[in-house]
A and B are shown apart, each in its own frame.
Chain A
Amino acid sequence: MTTRNILAGLLLAAVFVTGRSVIAHHAFGAEFDPNAPIRLQGKVVRLEWVNPHTWIHIETVKDGKPEIWMVEGGTPNTLLRRGITRDTVAVGTEVIVDGYQTKDHSLKRANGRDVTFADGRKLFMGSSGTGAPRDGSDPIEGGTKPAPKKPGGK
């Protein structure tokens, strides 16, 4: 019984935990078109910190003309608990996005498959999640929050 098998088993089990297809929950495959890949590079003009998905509005340039694209992210609530606020990513920050356009090609919207700063660093970092046991084994035990992220993209 290798670690990998156990982990694979756990993850597989988690996928079917509620009996409803996880694909159905998240609807990425329902919303975005695998035949319409995109790469965007441009400046953040607006961050919509809403549920169920954050939307990052980016101004790109296509054929010399500005275009505004909306890029879908995840729930902002997890980021808020890591000290990230609405001001963390300043308007004007340069980002690179690769993903797929919505099936509705009349919309300039895409999933944020990978959203990074211009130098490749992830836009936000995933840190230790909630759920750590209070038994001394977890370095963030005691409820200390990570320091709030500084705004800006440099």
Chain B
Amino acid sequence: MRNILVGLAIASVAATSLAAQAPKTIAKPAALRTSDGKPDLQGVWTNATITPLERPQNIKDLVLTEEAAARMEKAVTDRRDRLNEPSDPNRTAPPQGGDGSTGAAGNVGGYNNFWLDPGERVAIVDGQRRSSLIIDPPDGRIPALTQEARTRQQARAKLAMGRGQYDHPEYRPLAERCLLSFGPTTPLVPNYFYNNNLQIVQTPDHVMILMEMVHDARVVRIGGTHLPKHIRPWMGDSIGHWEGDTLVVDTTNFPPQQNFRGASENLHVVERFRRADDKTINYRFTVDDPTTFTAPFTGEIPFRAMEELIYEYACHEGNYALGNVLSGARNEEKRLGSKQ
């Protein structure tokens, strides 16, 4: 019991140090409360945005001007419109040796842009157009790693060098194995690709957060206590409590494979959900892991009410890709006679 109280106290101190930056509360009509008097967080929400997690190197301020934000958004929609235009029906096969595309497209051109739905707006929180989701540290970037973390990463990299990335399914990314989605799941950072949607259901003793991918339901036990240290479910273990009109969710017990930006088993995430108006939840998260990051970091993401439905994302059941990747590597080894 003492550990719980100490844990809550630490969480409160961490939270209140940022509370000074919190904006004035907006009066909420009675309709936005549940029958037990708490702010109603329920519904289907999207956290899609073009604002990145970390501030780009060439932007100094957290807040963008209206003009700068509009220019960014127009660049994204212009690109979308351009990629919607018809192709040449007489086009030939793409170039031998790859089409030069980088990043996710992997030199094979990925797939059409119409499959993507990354969001087309910068994040607006309390009227501010944001250049990064991270608000603290003030430079909007994840703090430096500790020496311990850097050593860990080097060891991991060394291990990875000595083996083929297609040798075993366990070497493949969690998303490719359909164990979890891209992105950390906790905190609820958008993935900048698609299906950035979540549903919240709220009862007096539980709050359920469903992420569309991979139909991952996180059940937060209000007033609960954390699981024993050796039990580490995917997405960690979340407990919650109300601080006035803010739902505070505390998550620990992450499995080692969920090493968000290099985090260790000591990863600890505190999330704060506050209803800003009838169409918006202001979501704030703080990540701390003193054995990995030299300081905690905090971000804010607006969740916007969505009128559409979340559809089933049964990933494993349709996962041709993982088999294709592994059989492709084996096929190539046979064909080319060497380790690719």
Direct contact of A and B (CB under 8 A): yes
Residues of A within 8 A of B (CB): 1, 3-7, 9-10, 12-20, 22-35, 37-39, 48, 50-55, 70, 72-81, 96, 98-100, 102-107, 109, 111-116, 118-126, 128-135, 138, 143, 145
Complex Cα distance, B68 from A4, in Å, reads: 11
Cβ of B119 under 8 Å from chain A: yes
Closest CB in chain B relative to A59 CB, distance in Å = 18
21 A–B contacts from the bound complex (CB under 8 Å): A1-B58, A6-B72, A9-B59, A18-B184, A19-B262, A26-B104, A27-B325, A33-B328, A34-B107, A35-B96, A50-B318, A51-B315, A52-B321, A77-B311, A77-B313, A78-B194, A98-B91, A116-B87, A123-B114, A131-B49, A143-B308
Q: Which residue of A lies closest to B261 (CB)?
A: A19
Hey, which chain A residues are within 8 Å of B51, CB to CB? Answer: 10
Hey, which chain A residues are within 8 Å of B213, CB to CB? Answer: 51
Q: Mark B160-182, 1 if CB is under 8 A from A, else 0.
A: 00000110000011011010001
How many B residues have CB within 8 A of the partner chain? 110
Cβ of B196 under 8 Å from chain A: yes
Q: Which B residues from 49 to 79 make CB contacts under 8 A with A?
A: 49-59, 68, 71-72, 75-77
Complex Cα distance, B261 from A106, in Å, reads: 38
Secondary structure of the B contact surface, majority rule: loop
Closest 4 A-B residue pairs measured CB to CB?
A74-B115, A29-B106, A9-B56, A103-B328
Partner of B75, one of A3, A17, A22, A79: A3
Complex Cα distance, B197 from A14, in Å, reads: 18
Known: A75-B313, A98-B91. A18 touches B111 (CB 8 A): no
Partner of B260, one of A19, A48, A116: A19
B173 A111 Cβ-Cβ under 8 A: no
Cβ of B335 under 8 Å from chain A: yes
Residue of A52, A81, A98, A132 with most partner-chain B CB within 10 A: A52
Known: A13-B54, A51-B314, A73-B115. A131 touches B304 (CB 8 A): yes
Closest CB in chain A relative to B102 CB, distance in Å = 8
Known: A19-B262, A100-B94. A121 touches B86 (CB 8 A): yes
Cβ of B147 under 8 Å from chain A: no
Known: A75-B195, A134-B279. A113 touches B94 (CB 8 A): yes
